Amino acid sequence: MKKIIAIITSFWIVIVTGGHVWAQSENMEAVITAVEDTKTVVPAGGGPAQVSQNLRLLITSGDKKGQEITLENDNAPVANLRQYQLGDKVVLYNQPETENYTIADVVRRPVLAWLFAIFVVAAIVVGHWQGVTSLLGLAASFVLIFFWIVPRVASGSNPIVMVTAGCLIIIPIMFLLSHGWNKTTLVAMVATLMAMMFTGGLIVIFVQWARLTGLASEEAGFLLAMNPDLLDFRQLLAAGMLFATLGVLDDVTISQAAIVSELKKTDPTLDFWRLYAGASKLGRDHIASMINTLILVYAGASFPLLLLFNQSRESLSLVLNYEIIADEIVRTLTGSIGLIMAVPLTTLLACLVETTKFRAGARRPHHK
């Protein structure tokens, strides 16, 4: 129980404090203490109406904590998108060496903390001890990604090399903590590594072949402005695709290895080919459902973009050719191919393990 409380507390601190235990942000936080002169403004050139408000705020963090300020929320485009109320907590941005404050965003961490708490409780109540160990694996992956992989990539290390090295560390930690030390887990680990290497090669080839630059996203544009000569954005794009694939392979390989193990327990007389045929039949159902899941996940993540293209008058073939769409196509299809190949690979390895008789240390008979 102490371990469970420690896990919940640690993640709660990370979300609620916004990571201030590791890094201090230049932005400040404030609470709205008064809302005055709320009015609707219609732009002179037409367009949607915008809300304009005079706000009084109390700064609650940073060097100017305790100071009261006033501002108009129509000074920044982001602020125009919402109407603030008394007691709202917001993030302020102050231009260096000036007193020009703007509202950057609202404070969402308490809401995220409650959502995370529900996630933790659900994982523990349903998963019991296995849910706790899975949370430990999540924490280990979080630390490795944000404190080892990301800083090294940001300092100029090869993104593909760093992500591959990180996956080689994450895979055993994630599998062993979530599923324990047994032959099913070991088979799934080996199959995941092999499928990940295959998928990684496929990603590198098609990112290069499709001449993707890695600069289609808004985030990449910001990174380019900050570090124009430091990062290889094509490699960064491929590394991100590889990371996304790992999470899917985890589910497929452990499920398929477990299927083979359970079939063998149910009927110990099954030989290799009968066991492989039975497990492959179940694996095909798993492939179909996971491919559908991949497509829906990526479509959901890009839904506003799809709506934007739908409103344009360009042909579908031209829309699909845009890099921002081509990125998602390559991501989805390479991940799906890796998923498809992981099923027969895992089934093959698991069937070999289940049907091979290992007699370590057996002595040869003496002939007189």
361 pLDDT above the threshold of 50: no
- Residue pair 89/106 in contact (Cβ under 8 Å)? The answer is yes
- Residue pair 357/301 in contact (Cβ under 8 Å)? The answer is no
With bands split at pLDDT 50, 70 and 90, how would you rate the model's confidence at 74? low
Token pair 């196509």 is found at: 329
218 pLDDT above the threshold of 50: yes
Is position 66 within any domain?
A: no
From the centroid of its chain, how far is CA 175? 17
1 pLDDT above the threshold of 70: no
Mean pLDDT computed over 344-364 = 74
Long-range contacts of 288-294 (CB under 8 A, 24+ apart): 290/248, 290/251, 290/252, 290/339, 291/336, 291/339, 291/340, 294/248, 294/332, 294/335, 294/336, 294/339
User: What span, in angstroms and rounded, lies between the C-alpha atoms of 29 and 90?
Assistant: 6
What pTM did the predictor assign? 0.73
Is position 37 within any domain?
A: no
Tell me the CATH number at 173: 1.20.1640
Q: Which pLDDT value is given to residue 72?
A: 79
- Residue pair 186/261 in contact (Cβ under 8 Å)? The answer is no
Strand partners for 28: 92
For 82-102, how does the pLDDT look when each residue is reduced to its tens digit (9 = 90+)?
A: 778 888 999 888 776 667 788
Q: Which pLDDT value is given to residue 121?
A: 94
Question: Is the pLDDT higher at 11 or at 215?
Answer: 215
Vertex 136: Cα angle to 6 and 243 (nearest 5)? 140
Nearby residues of 319 by Cβ (< 8 Å), 6 or more positions away: 309, 312, 325
For 185-204, how does the pLDDT look when each residue is reduced to its tens digit (9 = 90+)?
A: 999 999 999 999 999 999 99
Q: Which pLDDT value is given to residue 190?
A: 94
For 18-70, how does the pLDDT look when each residue is reduced to its tens digit (9 = 90+)?
A: 444 344 445 788 898 988 777 776 666 655 666 778 888 898 888 888 888 88
For 137-156, how does the pLDDT look when each residue is reduced to its tens digit (9 = 90+)?
A: 888 888 898 899 989 988 88
- CB-facing half-sphere around the CA of 284: CA atoms within 13 A: 5
DSSP letters of 126-145?
HHHHHHHHHHHHHHHHHHHI
Average pLDDT over the chain, rounded to whole? 80
16 pLDDT above the threshold of 50: no
DSSP letters of 233-284?
HHHHHHHHHHHHHHHHHHHHHHHHHHHHHHHHHH-TT--HHHHHHHHHHHHH
For 292, counting Cβ atoms within 10 Å of its Cβ (0-12 exposed, 13-18 middle, 19+ buried), the class is exposed
Total of domains in the chain: 1
Is position 202 within any domain?
A: yes
For 112-132, how does the pLDDT look when each residue is reduced to its tens digit (9 = 90+)?
A: 999 999 999 999 999 888 888
SS3 (DSSP) at 29: strand
Residue type, 273: W
Question: Is the pLDDT higher at 74 or at 111?
Answer: 111
Residues of the chain with pLDDT > 70, as a percent, come to 83
Is position 16 within any domain?
A: no
Is position 141 within any domain?
A: no
Provide the angle, in degrees to the nearest 10, between the axes of the packed helices 159-179 and 233-266: 30
The DSSP code for 149 is I
Is position 321 within any domain?
A: yes
Token pair 């996956």 is found at: 167
The DSSP code for 163 is H
- Domain ranges, residue 186: 156-355
Nearest to 85 by CA among 29, 35, 30: 35
Is position 307 within any domain?
A: yes
Q: Which pLDDT value is given to residue 193?
A: 93
SS3 (DSSP) at 211: coil
Structure tokens given for 104: 């950057």
Is position 252 within any domain?
A: yes
